């Protein structure tokens, strides 16, 4: 495959009048693509057979401009191939070859790896390099500004498409353009970093964060184009570690096409000896860099490492006050900067910040970045693995790690990829499962015992109309399995009755379909007892209105024998209710047992589908056979 390292002279756009910024991308595409055609000698032939060529572009930003440029070439049929969500190209190879056979020279334009079906039959495959060489950069500057520029003023290694667009605009002098090109390259602040997603590709950030990020990109883009904007807001992202607060800041900068200037409180303290003067000097350097590269995104991470003065000792206040005051003034300087700067911050603990730092005018918006849902975590895995696995398989992977973050997902994918590489093969779904599924040395019989228990909880919940969010028989430490059911924020007496039966549903299934009650269900008894006691002595849902407050359950029961008898009666009644449900819904119990043994983890959709099946018919023979095999008798 030919790779472009130099561009032949091509007369045309370079001698035209200065262009507007909106045509700059098209100028670059025309120069690069037509230069590639000349270098590779695949111009549509005047005589001889037609040719089939493949032009591979460095990213999607090139597709439309390349199509427009190539369609101006006489006698050339241009086909743009786009990838599906799963990475596959859709094309009619027979139709393409038929056109070539009829004398129609064709060039297929795409981003990504062309399928072997094309590369094997193409007359030429041409790669347009990610970095644009100095000669072409100089030509673009002349096209946009009308002024010649020496090649040696351009970064020797060339620049990326988006860096060129960020630096070269009408109205800037040649020296301004070249200085900005060097600044971006030197600081490695190119906004086309492939590991950073665009805002529109962010997953698991919640509607508020993604909508705000999109509006911030629009505001920055208007500023970059010299158009009036509604004003640049600032924002502070907060949420647990690993949820992607740094990533969203990077994504905003990349999508808007501006540099990201970042620091963290920890980084400021790492400068010099970490003295107060060193820290303030490092912060001043950060401010100066952001102002020099404006318009840009200025990002301050670990904001909670700068403590709040509220409740601070007099000694602590004496040391921290000057630094906090400088930080407050510096934030205001960034907000008033011209050209404007988008100020972003991140913290794991919003409550730890000084109130003066997070007031409007400094950080205008406080935006929570939540832990991804199972579905969002699966979509993150989808992005990290190149969209190569079925979504249902990735949901299964994600379901083993509820509460996992985007950072966790990257760790799993990296480890799984290393394992696959060491084994000399491509990544497969089993590699990912090996990273998230805990080691389990239990026998099939032991797993079945756990599955029967968890199926009892699930069956009772479904019968009572309480949604089951997730169920698992995966072993985590001393926990052999778990079921997560929806709990209303305000409990009624009816809801208490339901949750008592659900809590004892596992014990009921053990008694009817398993080997009887076992000590592994102690946590269920503790939960049921807590619900029953609180209903009677704190929530006013039984026969008394007295509220005892935060006394321990053990102390309350030890001091009130009559109450203990009431609680025992409540639990016994709930157990009988649970036993009646699991006895009546035998087929549901065993359908769930089978699914848990096969999948280990079930999500709400799978559980709801199992609950919708008939209860007795079709499974009664299986139930009787299982009981007979275990030496038990069918319950009366």
Q: Percentage of the chain with pLDDT > 90?
A: 38
- In the CATH hierarchy, which fold is given to the domain comprising 199-368? Rossmann fold (3.40.50)
DSSP class of residue 438? P
Higher-pLDDT residue of 323 and 27 is 323
Q: Tell me: pLDDT of 554 over 80.
A: yes
- Per-residue model confidence (pLDDT) at position 493: 92
Q: How many CB atoms lie within 10 A of CB 211?
A: 13
Q: Tell me: pLDDT of 18 over 60.
A: no
**Cα(579)–Cα(137) distance, integer angstroms:** 77
For 44, 50, 99, the CA distances from 76, given in Å and listed in that order, are 6, 10, 11
- Per-residue model confidence (pLDDT) at position 587: 94
pLDDT in tens, 305-333: 998 888 888 887 888 888 999 999 999 99
- Per-residue model confidence (pLDDT) at position 5: 32
pLDDT in tens, 462-501: 999 999 999 999 876 666 788 989 988 888 999 999 999 9
Which residues make Cβ contacts (< 8 Å) with residue 121, sequence separation at least 6? 52, 97
pLDDT in tens, 561-605: 888 999 999 999 999 999 999 999 999 999 999 999 998 889 888
For 261, 309, 322, 614, the CA distances from 285, given in Å and listed in that order, are 11, 24, 17, 70
pLDDT in tens, 392-408: 899 989 988 888 999 99
Q: Do domains 2-129 and 199-368 have the same CATH topology?
A: yes
The distance in angstroms from the start CA to the end CA of the chain is 77
Instruction: Report which secondary-structure segment, H or E, holds 409.
Output: helix 406-422
Q: Tell me: pLDDT of 6 over 50.
A: no
- Residue 71: pLDDT band (50, 70, 90) is confident
**Cα(36)–Cα(30) distance, integer angstroms:** 10
Length of the chain: 636
- As a whole number of Å, the CA-based R_g of the chain is 33
Q: Tell me: pLDDT of 8 over 60.
A: no
Tell whether pTM > 0.75.
Answer: no
**Could you give the dihedral angle defined by the CA atoms of residues 68, 70, 75 and 79, in that order, rounded to the nearest 10 degrees?**
-80
Q: Tell me: pLDDT of 81 over 70.
A: yes
- Mean pLDDT on 101-108: 86
- Mean pLDDT on 228-234: 75
- Per-residue model confidence (pLDDT) at position 19: 44
CATH class of residue range 444-629: mainly alpha
Higher-pLDDT residue of 79 and 478 is 79
- In the CATH hierarchy, which fold is given to the domain comprising 2-129? Rossmann fold (3.40.50)
Higher-pLDDT residue of 607 and 293 is 607
- Per-residue model confidence (pLDDT) at position 502: 96
**Cα(626)–Cα(620) distance, integer angstroms:** 10
Q: Map out the domains of the chain as residue ranges.
A: 2-129, 134-186, 199-368, 375-436, 444-629
pLDDT in tens, 31-62: 655 565 554 444 545 556 778 888 887 777 67
In CATH, which of 3.40.50, 1.10.8, 1.10.3470, 1.20.120 is domain 375-436? Answer: 1.10.8
């Amino acid at each position: 495959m030919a790779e472009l390292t130099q561009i032949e002279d091509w007369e045309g756009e370079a001698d035209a009048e200065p262009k507007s910024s909106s045509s700059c991308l098209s100028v670059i595409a025309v120069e690069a693509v037509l230069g590639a055609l000349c270098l590779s000698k695949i111009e549509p032939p005047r005589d001889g057979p037609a040719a089939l060529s493949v032009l591979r572009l460095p990213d999607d930003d090139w597709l439309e401009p390349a199509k427009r440029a190539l369609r101006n070439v006489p006698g050339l049929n241009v086909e743009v191939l786009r990838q599906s969500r799963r990475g596959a190209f859709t094309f009619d190879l027979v139709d393409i070859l038929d056109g070539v056979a009829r004398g129609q020279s064709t060039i297929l334009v795409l981003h990504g790896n062309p399928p072997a079906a094309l590369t094997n039959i193409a007359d030429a495959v041409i790669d347009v390099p990610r970095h644009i060489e100095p000669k072409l950069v100089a030509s673009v500057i002349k096209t946009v500004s009308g002024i010649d520029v020496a090649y040696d003023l351009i970064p020797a290694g060339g620049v990326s498409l988006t860096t060129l667009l960020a630096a070269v605009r009408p109205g800037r002098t040649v020296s301004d353009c070249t200085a900005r090109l060097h600044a971006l390259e030197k600081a490695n602040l190119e906004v086309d970093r492939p590991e950073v997603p665009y805002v529109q590709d962010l997953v698991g950030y919640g509607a508020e964060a993604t909508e705000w990020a999109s509006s911030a990109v629009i505001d920055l883009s208007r500023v970059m184009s010299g158009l009036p904007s509604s004003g640049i807001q600032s924002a502070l992202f907060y949420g647990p570690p690993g949820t992607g607060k740094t990533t969203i800041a990077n994504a905003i900068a990349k999508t808007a096409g501006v540099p990201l200037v970042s620091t963290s409180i920890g980084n400021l303290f790492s400068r010099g000896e970490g003295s107060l003067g060193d820290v303030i000097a490092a912060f001043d350097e950060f401010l100066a860099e952001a102002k020099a590269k404006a318009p840009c995104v200025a990002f301050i991470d670990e904001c909670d490492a700068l403590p709040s003065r509220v409740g601070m000792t007099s000694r602590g206040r004496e040391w921290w006050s000057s630094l906090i005051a400088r930080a407050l003034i510096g934030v205001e300087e960034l907000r008033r900067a011209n050209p404007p700067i988008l100020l972003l911050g991140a913290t794991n603990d919003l409550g730890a910040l000084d109130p003066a730092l997070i007031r409007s005018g400094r950080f205008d918006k406080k935006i929570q970045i939540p832990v991804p849902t199972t579905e969002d975590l699966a979509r993150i895995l989808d992005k990290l693995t190149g969209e190569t696995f079925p979504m249902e398989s990735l949901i299964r992977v994600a379901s083993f790690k509820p509460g996992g973050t985007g950072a966790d997902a990257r760790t799993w994918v990296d480890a799984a990829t290393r394992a696959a590489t060491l084994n000399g093969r491509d990544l497969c779904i089993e590699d990912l499962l090996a990273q998230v599924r805990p080691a389990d040395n239990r026998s099939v019989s032991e797993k079945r015992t756990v599955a029967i228990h968890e199926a009892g909880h699930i069956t009772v919940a479904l019968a009572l109309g309480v949604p089951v969010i997730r169920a698992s028989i995966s072993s985590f430490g001393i926990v052999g399995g778990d079921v997560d059911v929806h709990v209303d924020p305000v409990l009624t007496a009816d809801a208490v009755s339901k949750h008592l039966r659900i809590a004892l549903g596992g014990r009921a299934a053990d008694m009817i379909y398993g080997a009887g009650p076992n000590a592994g269900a102690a946590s269920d008894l503790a939960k049921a007892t807590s619900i029953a006691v609180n209903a009677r002595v704190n929530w006013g849902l039984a026969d008394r209105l007295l509220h005892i407050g935060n006394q321990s359950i053990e102390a309350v029961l030890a001091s009130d024998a009559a109450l203990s008898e009431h609680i025992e009666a409540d639990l016994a009644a709930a157990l009988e209710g649970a036993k009646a449900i699991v006895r009546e819904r035998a087929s549901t119990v065993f359908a769930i047992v089978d699914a848990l043994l096969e999948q280990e983890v079930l999500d709400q959709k799978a559980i709801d589908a199992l609950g919708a099946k008939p209860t007795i018919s079709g499974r009664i023979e299986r139930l009787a056979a299982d009981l007979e095999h275990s030496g038990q008798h069918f319950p009366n």
